[in-house]
């Protein structure tokens, strides 16, 4: 049967993706600098091999033939995802796929030092190549799919989402977020939390992170924690790799970073084994993926009940001081302050970081601005949305993110979509299971939360569309009012 042949081919591709993911993890964490050129070439060759296997002439024949075979609903869903994967790959020629992989590897590796040195002049030519190739790919995709170029890139990460839909969502957020930020500022003026002092050795920060991961159910038999320039979650469900970065003067960002990536990892580890190696068994979208990491970081880890549970463990690692008391940590982790760095942004100002990137990306892909314009455009947007200037310091401006180095344009909107999904899932959990704070405090509460997520999100994988998944889990479509309600409760009510 053609469907069985397709399953075998996609299982082969899964094995190659496993190798690609671990090679990419090693490149970001362990590989010596001198290995980058050879590693880049190897990864480009691997990307080309996967592309050729996915776009081989027999695939189209098998897809068409399989449509006439008796399939279960789940097999039909898998076939739909196979077709989508094949179509996305078949649109691009082999030489473009290989060129993009090489350019991305070269740009990302050089970026690590260039960002440290605020070297925009060195970074610009590498990024220009990546952008030129991404524009070429976007144009090919757009013509075939009858989409705008930028929409064709969004669709890779958030299927069926468009820039017009995002614009409506972001316009809605902008209509009420400023008021909540003002109210939150008024509330936090009543408190004066103490900042933790001292040196926080990396070894102790890592130990604390590992304890948090264990509390959150991470499976260490199928994953590990390491250090990289930019935190990420990679690998495959059988072998999930998460990374963080440490600052010995401040343990707080790395702790939340580890918990954020643990949310990604739990989603991967919770995907259905029955469909492992098949497209329907993979994560639904980057927005859903981000909803899991943000649920872990925001709905769980920053909740007062969780911080009260973590405070003794934090003091165990770093010693006694007033700043590490639970009530002080609660105040610290609920403070808002506009900042330059997206990954360190508080929950209320974070959407501004995403909205400005969405606007810049769209203009860049549609050639309304050029790569050379990015420092100036970025500075203007930062002043517009956050009241900050990055003029002359591109390391904390347009060079701060890793995403553009490999051409991942269209990815950023997934972060704020994920925040909205996370709040909506939290509302459904409180409806179906119980109050989240009470569940966190209870000895058996966290497993109940994870069981709801596993049943309603993780095990659904890509067997349903994002819209269907949200509808089934929460009883309604994407609704920003859940996000608004959550933010008001967390940031405008008395602690």
Active site residues: 261
DSSP-derived pairing of the beta strands 223-227 and 239-244: parallel
What tokens appear for 438 in the block? 């009470």
Contact by Cβ (8 Å): 276, 313: no
Tell which residue, 410, 427, 440, has the closest CA to residue 474.
427
| Alpha carbons within 13 A on the beta-carbon side of 307 | 21
**Buried b or exposed e, range 126-155, using 16+ CB within 10 angstroms:** bbebbbebbbbbbebbbeeeebbbbbbbbb
Tell which residue, 410, 415, 390, has the closest CA to residue 400.
390
3-state secondary structure the chain: CHHHHHHHHHHHHHHHHHHHHHHHHHHHHCCCHHHHHHHHHHHHHHHHHHHHHHHCHHHHHHHHHHCCCCCCHHHHHHHHHHHHHHHHHHCCCHHHHHHHHHHHHHHHHHHHHHHHCCCHHHHHHHHHHHHHHHHHHHHHHHHHHCCCHHHHHHHHHCCCCCHHHHHHHHHHHHHHHHHHHHHHHHHHCCCCCCCCCCCCCHHHHHHHHHHHHHHCCCCHHHEEEEECCCCCEEEECCEEEEEECCECCECHHHHHHHHHHHHHHHHHHHCCHHHCCCHHHCCCCHHHHHHHHHHHHHHHHCCHHHHHHHHHHHHHHHCCCHHHCHHHHHHHCCCCCCCCCHHHCCCCCHHHHHHHHHHHHHHHHCCCCCHHHHHHHHHHHHHHHHCCCCCCCHHHCCCCCCHHHHCCCCCCHHHHHHHHHHHHHHHHHHHHCCCHHHHHHCCCHHHHHHHHHHHHCHHHCCCCCHHHHHHHHHCCCCCHHHHHHHHHHHHCCCC
Q: At what angle do helices 163-188 and 413-432 cross, to 10 degrees?
A: 70
Tell which residue, 221, 220, 222, 214, has the closest CA to residue 259.
214
**142: Cα separation from own chain's centroid:** 24
């Amino acid at each position: 049967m053609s469907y069985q042949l397709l399953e075998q081919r996609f299982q082969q591709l899964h094995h190659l993706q496993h190798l690609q993911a671990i090679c990419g993890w090693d490149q970001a964490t362990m590989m010596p600098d001198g290995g980058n050129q050879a590693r880049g070439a190897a990864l480009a060759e691997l990307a080309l091999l996967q592309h050729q296997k996915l776009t081989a002439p027999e695939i189209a024949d098998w897809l068409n033939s399989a449509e006439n075979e008796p399939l279960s609903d789940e097999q039909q869903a898998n076939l739909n995802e196979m077709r989508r994967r094949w179509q996305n790959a078949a649109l691009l020629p082999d030489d473009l796929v290989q060129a993009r992989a090489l350019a991305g590897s070269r740009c990302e590796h050089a970026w690590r030092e260039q960002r440290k040195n605020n070297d925009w002049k060195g970074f610009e030519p590498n990024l220009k190549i990546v952008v030129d190739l991404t524009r070429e790919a976007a144009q090919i995709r757009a013509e075939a799919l009858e989409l705008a170029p930028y929409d064709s890139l969004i669709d890779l990460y958030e299927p069926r989402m468009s820039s017009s839909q995002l614009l409506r969502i972001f316009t809605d957020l902008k209509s009420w977020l400023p008021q909540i930020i003002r109210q939150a500022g008024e509330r936090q003026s009543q408190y004066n939390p103490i900042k933790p002092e001292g040196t926080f050795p990396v070894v102790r920060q890592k130990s604390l992170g590992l304890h948090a991961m264990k509390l959150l159910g991470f499976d260490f038999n199928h994953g590990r924690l390491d250090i990289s320039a930019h935190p990420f979650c990679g690998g495959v469900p059988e072998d999930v790799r998460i990374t963080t970065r440490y600052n010995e003067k401040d343990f707080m960002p790395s702790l939340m970073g580890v918990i954020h990536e643990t949310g990604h990892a739990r989603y991967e580890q919770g995907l259905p084994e029955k469909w492992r190696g098949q497209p329907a068994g993979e994560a639904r979208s980057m927005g859903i993926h981000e909803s899991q990491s943000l649920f872990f970081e925001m709905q769980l880890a920053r909740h007062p009940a969780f911080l009260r549970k973590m405070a003794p463990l934090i003091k165990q690692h770093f010693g006694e001081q007033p700043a590490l008391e639970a009530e002080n940590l609660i105040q610290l982790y609920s403070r808002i302050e506009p900042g330059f760095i997206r990954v360190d942004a508080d929950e209320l100002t974070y959407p501004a970081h995403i909205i400005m990137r969405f606007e810049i990306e769209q203009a860049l892909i549609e050639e309304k601005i050029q790569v050379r314009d990015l420092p100036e455009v970025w500075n203007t947007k930062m002043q517009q949305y956050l009241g900050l200037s990055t003029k002359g310091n591109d390391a904390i401006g347009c060079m701060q993110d890793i995403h553009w180095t490999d051409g991942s344009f269209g990815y950023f909107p997934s972060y704020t979509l994920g925040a909205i999904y996370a709040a909506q899932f939290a509302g459904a959990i409180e409806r179906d299971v119980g109050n989240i704070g009470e569940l966190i405090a209870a000895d058996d509460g966290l497993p109940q939360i994870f069981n709801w997520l596993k049943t309603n999100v993780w095990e659904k994988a890509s067997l349903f569309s994002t819209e269907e998944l949200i509808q089934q889990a929460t009883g309604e479509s994407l609704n920003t009012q859940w996000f608004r309600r959550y933010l008001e409760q967390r940031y405008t009510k008395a602690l």
